[in-house]
Amino acid sequence: MMSYFSSRTISRTFTRSVTGPWNYVTGKRCDPSESLGSIKVTEPATGQVLCEVLRSGPLEVDHAVSSAKEVFSTWSKLSGRDRGQKLIKAGHIIRENLEDISKLEVRDTGKPIWEARVDIASCAEALEYYGGLAPAIIGQHVPLHGGSFAMVQRQPLGVIGGIGAWNFPMQTCVWKVAPALACGNTFVYKPSQFTPVTAVTLAEILTEAGVPDGVFNVIQGDGESGAKLCDHPDVAKLSFTGSISTGTKVMAAGSKGVKSVTLELGGKSPLIIFEDADMKNAVKATLMANFLSQGQVCSNGTRVFVQSSIASEFIKKLVDATKRLKLGDPFGEDTTVGATIHEEHAKKVLDFIASAKEEGARVLCGGERVIQPGKLRGGWYLSPAVLVNCKDQMKVVKEEVFGSVASVLEFDSEEEAVKRANDTDFGLAGGVFTKDIHRGHRVANAIEAGTVWINTYNLYPTEIPFGGYKHSGIGRENGHTAVDNFTQTRTIYVEMGNVDCGPLYQE
């Protein structure tokens, strides 16, 4: 008998090339029945057209939501174990096809192949984690006076509307879909218009794993398509990853429909390096905190606070390490920095660098477009930049650049570092480097952020929650916490004695 996970079985349903149609509704790829026009998606590595995607209009959004609503009663009534087994199977399929999916992700995003492999492996981890957790999503039995008791049940919300980001297109999708499906919800997802490819791949994988048709649907489009999804009356919850400006619109749509909302928004995170830090690890973490995914990471530690006594040595080592990064073909095994998502965004990053120089910052390395040879000539490759002489009020220090730009700032005391680190409207993440474990905990607890790393940076195990303070978002993804965001409770009180109504009733 052929194994369920054999490559021959999988290959019949898993599309391994950049091929449309790009919507996925009721268990199959499809074009929208009504289109608002098309979007030409460019491949970041080459600047050439990767695919053309039709924008979903109101009829197609309604079709997807109706599909999810129709199958909700069937999916939600399955046991947690049954749902979980299907998610675990999906995780196995991803692992069996890791290389092919990673290549699709590279073409979609322009990030290096080594990094895409890490991202896609994390998708398998999330599906396996929530697949294993699904049987444990249970309520409570609460004993009460006189033998009475209450049952507190965890119930799914219904149809979830998700909108994802372009920097980690499959990962941000799975972080929403895995816990939502584990809890018994169904889903309609709109990926970013810049990275439409791998959300549909995930849909095919879930179908192959046995998830019923309609449980997970994908609609493509831009902000208008997303707005139609947010406003749909049959969507019970909205989950969004992206910019603050769009996040506020999603939140407004949620409030209008009294929908639950989870937002994972931007960041301007501090990375504080004390004089007793392990210098080599601090430099490595700074590279991770600024140049991962071409700097296009919301949690990046782009405000690098370095204690003055070690600033000169640290800056020299950081610049040396940055210059050794290899910029180029994302499919090259030795490439460490790939292509920026598209021309408009690359020019925005370059404008931040120009503004920093006008305000007095010095660029010690990078910060320029590097023209690549041959077929890569049309891609926007920006050399990673290290800025010094930075001040807290500079635009590049205050605003989210979302590019390969590290701003180095010096500080003298712990109190000063914490105060300046918290002087921001953002609160997504932060990092502390010190060999003094007491100071590490003290500073980590003082930083106003949803995630703080001590002596590392930008690690996201599925087991721990991720999300922000202040303008960086509402709610959490990952960990057991995500279950709270995708369920609601129902309390059933069982009276085992006579009704006690005090003096209201007289014999």
Tens of pLDDT, residue by residue, the chain (507 residues): 233 333 333 344 678 999 999 999 999 999 998 888 999 999 999 999 999 999 999 999 999 999 999 999 999 999 999 999 999 999 999 999 999 999 999 999 999 999 999 999 999 999 999 999 999 999 999 999 999 999 999 999 999 999 999 999 999 999 999 999 999 999 999 999 999 999 999 999 999 999 999 999 999 999 999 999 999 999 999 999 999 999 999 999 999 999 999 999 999 999 999 999 999 999 999 999 999 999 999 999 999 999 999 999 999 999 999 999 999 999 999 999 999 999 999 999 999 999 999 999 999 999 999 999 999 999 999 999 999 999 999 999 999 999 999 999 999 999 999 999 999 999 999 999 999 999 999 999 999 999 999 999 999 999 999 999 999 999 999 999 999 999 999 999 999 999 989 899 888
Predicted pLDDT at 35: 81
Residue 326 DSSP label = P
How much is the pLDDT for 435?
98
Query: SS3 of 229, please?
Result: helix
pLDDT of residue 5: 32
**What kind and span of H or E run contains 261?**
strand 260-264
Helix, strand, or coil (residue 465): coil
Judge contact between 319 and 353, C-beta under 8 A.
Answer: no
- Bridge partners for 155 per DSSP: 488
432 backbone dihedrals φ, ψ, rounded to 5°: -135, 130
Q: 105, 298, 390, 410: which one is catalytic?
A: 298
Q: What is the pLDDT of residue 308?
A: 98
Beta bridge partners of 290: none
Asked if 298 is an active-site residue, the reply is: yes
From the number of C-beta atoms within 10 Å of its C-beta (0-12, 13-18, 19+), residue 371 rates as exposed
Q: How far apart are CA 449 and CA 39, in angstroms?
A: 36
Q: How far apart are CA 63 and CA 479, in angstroms?
A: 32
Burial 69-88 (b: 16+ CB within 10 A, else e): bebbeebbeeebeebbbbbb
Per the CB < 8 A criterion, the answer to whether 134 and 84 are in contact is yes
Supply the pLDDT for residue 13. 64
Long-range Cβ contact pairs of 439-442 (< 8 A, separation 24 or more): 439/274, 439/414, 442/414
Secondary structure element (H or E) that encloses residue 187, with its range = strand 186-190
Distance CA 375, CA 292 (A): 24
Q: Are the CB atoms for 129 and 463 separated by under 8 Å?
A: yes
For residue 478, what are the contacts with CB-CB under 8 A and spacing of at least 6?
A: 126, 175, 179, 460, 461, 462, 463, 464, 465, 466
Catalytic residue among 60, 264, 448, 477: 264
Q: Which residue has the tokens 């690890």?
A: 281
- Rounded CA-CA distance 213/2 in Å is 23
For residue 13, give the nearest of 110, 75, 100 by alpha carbon.
100
The tokens describing 266, both together, are: 């931007």
Cis? peptide before 191, omega within 30° of 0: no
d(CA 182, CA 76) in angstroms, rounded, equals 9
Strands of 216-218's sheet, edge to edge?
28-30, 23-25, 216-218, 186-190, 159-163, 235-241, 260-264, 473-474
Catalytic (active site) residue 390: no
CA-to-CA distance for 504 and 253, rounded, in angstroms? 45
Q: How many whole angstroms separate alpha carbon 56 and alpha carbon 483?
A: 30
